[in-house]
Amino acid sequence: MQPMAKWALWLGGALVWVAGVAFALFALAAPSRAEMAFSPEQARLVCAGVQPETLKRHGNSVSVPASTERLRDCRVEIDFAVRHAAAAERAAEASYVELMGLKLARAAFPQRLAANGAGLALKPRAEGGLTLSVPFDVLFGGDRKRGAALILAWRSGDGGEAEAYLSPTLILERADAPAQLRARGAAN
């Protein structure tokens, strides 16, 4: 096998650089139709007859207590700041929530739920913003036993002129998930 000429390596690198610049220019020139409009501020665990507990947050990750019998009737409430205050009322009526399980063994699609259905409730706050309430069993049901990735989204309409308003992905991790993974690894 003959060694590759230096000019061929240089030419390949130049072509990759030109392709990257062209892709970046195309991405900047394309009209933007999505906007990060909802910012998660705080999450809390709310159970009947007990003072709400503010959940620990680190960046976009929230630690939720380990599942116990007392948590079955609880819900997680997440406060979102809204970039456009006028959109908060309309978003509360027609938003949806996408939930995806963490650390899955096989590929899966996120589950899309109406923000005001399937036990979920999205309401505007008096001081501005939105509050999303998700029952514990919906949040950690199905393939989301170890945790869930959550995105709040709203679309302004249909067709080419519609704009999408999104939240960054919020990771809700169960406190007992790492212990489950360690136990499972030891068994193998």
pLDDT digits (tens, 9 = 90+) for 102-149: 888 777 788 999 999 889 999 998 888 999 999 998 998 888 888 899
- 117 to 30, 159, 172: CA distances (angstroms): 35, 24, 20
- Kindly report the pTM of this predicted structure: 0.73
Collapsed DSSP state (helix, strand, coil) of residue 172 = strand
pLDDT value at position 187?
44
Confidence at residue 92, expressed as pLDDT on a 0 to 100 scale: 84
pLDDT one-digit tens code per residue, 32-42: 466 788 999 99
Task: Report the pLDDT value the prediction gives residue 6, as an integer from 0 to 100.
Answer: 63
| Cβ-contact 124, 79 below 8 angstroms | no
Domains of the chain listed by start with CATH number = 35-187 (2.60.40.10)
pLDDT of 11: 52
What's the pLDDT tens digit per position in 44-98? Answer: 999 988 899 999 998 899 998 876 677 878 999 999 999 877 777 888 888 999 9
C-alpha to C-alpha distance for 115 and 122, rounded to whole angstroms: 6
